[in-house]
Amino acid sequence: MSSRLQRFISRLGSLSMAVAVLLAIAAVLAWGTFYEGRFGTAAVQQTIYRSLGFQFLLFFLGVNLAAAALQRLPWKRKHLPFVLAHIGILLILTGGILSARLGVEGTLMIPEGESGSMLELSRSVLVVTAPRASEGAAIPTAFEARAWVHEPGQRWPVTLAGRSLEVSVDRYFPDARRVEQVTEASEEENPALQVELRRGEQTDQIWLFSRNPHRAMAVSDPMTLLYLETTPEWIRQRVGRSDGPSLPSQAVIFCRLPSGSVSALLTGVEGRPERIDDLEVGKFYRHPALDLDFRLLTQWKGARLITDYENRSDRVRAETLRVTVREGEERRMVWVPRDALVPVPLSAGPLFLQYRADRRPIPFAVRLLDFRKHEYPGTTVPAAFESDLVLADPERGETRRTASMNNPVKHRGWILFQSSYIEGPTEATVLLVRNDPGTPVVYTGFLIVIVGVITLFTSRERRQ
């Protein structure tokens, strides 16, 4: 070995180099702890722990360890503990890099009696689909990794069902709140009411749209508000009926009459519902059974509902994108909340956008036979929970297994951990599913380090 190469290896394997690399790794880990607390686990995984920069630091630490071991050449028997420890640490670092680059980890939610084989991963995608397309186009994204950047300005060309599109995102709100603005539109026939409720010092303002099936009703506990285009007589007949469509028993039901005036029917009153004709805008009326007052603030024959979003903070809690789709000279802009399927009307045919977690199939299906939760005696606090599963593998047939806390199920390199559960009329289990090729390498590294430590102590005893 030439003297120049020896000096180079000596510098790479020096203690000062090791200290510098370890300090850099410690600084990144400290920053990662702060980053995770602010932006979440998925963001810190993508931005820091699985980044090429952090993995380069781990790789360089491995180079430092290898160079330190090479400086001892030719190795002698007394160097064995030192060499084993360095080899073990190198294997641990290698396994960690393999896990970050090749490992798969996701969640699998399965209701009782059903099967699942599609994992939800921690990374996100923007999916574009069309009615005639056999498959959609999934665009990988990482907006949550830089949640403070609210104007990403990213665009992608997309070919779908023979159509050439351009999809761009100019707004990313990690903690979005829906904001609605209602304006009068005299040219449109879209009746709307703005109602104010008052109970003591508490007030609430609600918009109702008679021709919008999703906005014609609002619930303000313990009362329901309805805005219908019908007659009070018809409503009287439907209150409390079990045959056909029924109406709430405690409600204020506004009726828009052909003349344009508005009447109200108050249900929940002893005896027959109370009727108020020709409501006046601005005048308070009292619901005697519910101990509240209400009044009309606005009554429009035509109204336009404009939906917008604003951001509240940089915490990743309610993600929403503003997406523009261009096809030829035609452009459409829509807001896409997390997991919502949003239609995009285009002249060549509608498209659908969805911003959700990426998905990946596993090579077998998992069916949940039964989920059990055990509670501490005398409390409702869960002490343990477990799932009876059937693994349906096309190559190995069906296998019945039980996954419980600290007792995962292993199958063909995949590990199924009992993570959590969802209560309801039909209980569901949530499994954390992992396939990690780096785990055996890491375990081997730990064993070699342990052997090195044992060798160190035994060799000292012999010398004494």
Q: What is the pLDDT of residue 237?
A: 55
- Would you give per-residue pLDDT tens digits along the chain (464 residues)? 567 777 777 887 888 888 888 899 899 989 888 888 777 777 787 778 878 888 888 888 888 888 888 877 777 777 788 888 888 888 988 888 888 888 899 999 999 999 999 999 988 999 999 987 778 899 999 898 888 899 999 999 999 988 899 999 999 999 999 998 899 887 778 899 999 999 888 889 999 998 888 888 988 777 889 898 876 565 555 554 444 455 667 888 898 887 788 888 888 766 577 888 889 999 999 888 888 899 999 999 889 888 899 999 988 889 999 999 999 999 999 999 999 999 999 999 999 999 999 999 999 999 999 999 888 888 888 888 999 999 999 988 999 999 998 899 999 889 999 999 998 888 999 999 999 888 899 999 999 989 888 887 777 655 55
401: left (phi over 0), alpha (psi -120 to 50) or beta: beta
Q: What is the pLDDT of residue 242?
A: 45
User: What are the domain boundaries of the chain?
Assistant: 3-102+440-463, 104-118+360-435, 179-305
Q: What pTM does this model have?
A: 0.72
Q: Which two tokens stand for residue 425?
A: 């009329």
Best CA proximity match to 266, nearest among 281, 277, 256, 282: 277
CA distance linking residue 29 with residue 371, whole number of Å: 38
CATH no. for 104-118+360-435: 2.60.98.10
Question: What secondary structure, in 3-state letters, does the chain show?
Answer: CCHHHHHHHHHHCCHHHHHHHHHHHHHHHHHHHHHHHHHCHHHHHHHHHCCHHHHHHHHHHHHHHHHHHHCCCCCCHHHHHHHHHHHHHHHHHHHHHHHHHHCEEEEEEEECCCEEEEEEEEEEEEEEECCCCCCCEEEEECHHHHCCCCCCCEEEEEEECCEEEEEEEEEEECEEEEEEEEEECCCCCECEEEEEEEECCEEEEEEEECCCCCCCEEEECCEEEEEECCCHHHHHHHECCCCCCCECCCEEEEEECCCCCEEEEEECCCCCCEEECCCCECCCEEECCCCEEEEEEEEECEEEEEEEEEECCCCCCECEEEEEEEECCEEEEEEEEECCEEEECCCCCCEEEEEEEEEEEEEEEEEEEEEEEEECCCCCCEEEEEEEEEEEECCCEEEEEEEECCECEEECCEEEEEEEEECCCCCEEEEEEEECCCHHHHHHHHHHHHHHHHHHHHHHHHHC
Q: What is the pLDDT of residue 214?
A: 85
> How far does the chain reach from its first CA to its final CA, in angstroms?
35
Best CA proximity match to 319, nearest among 183, 142, 159, 96: 142
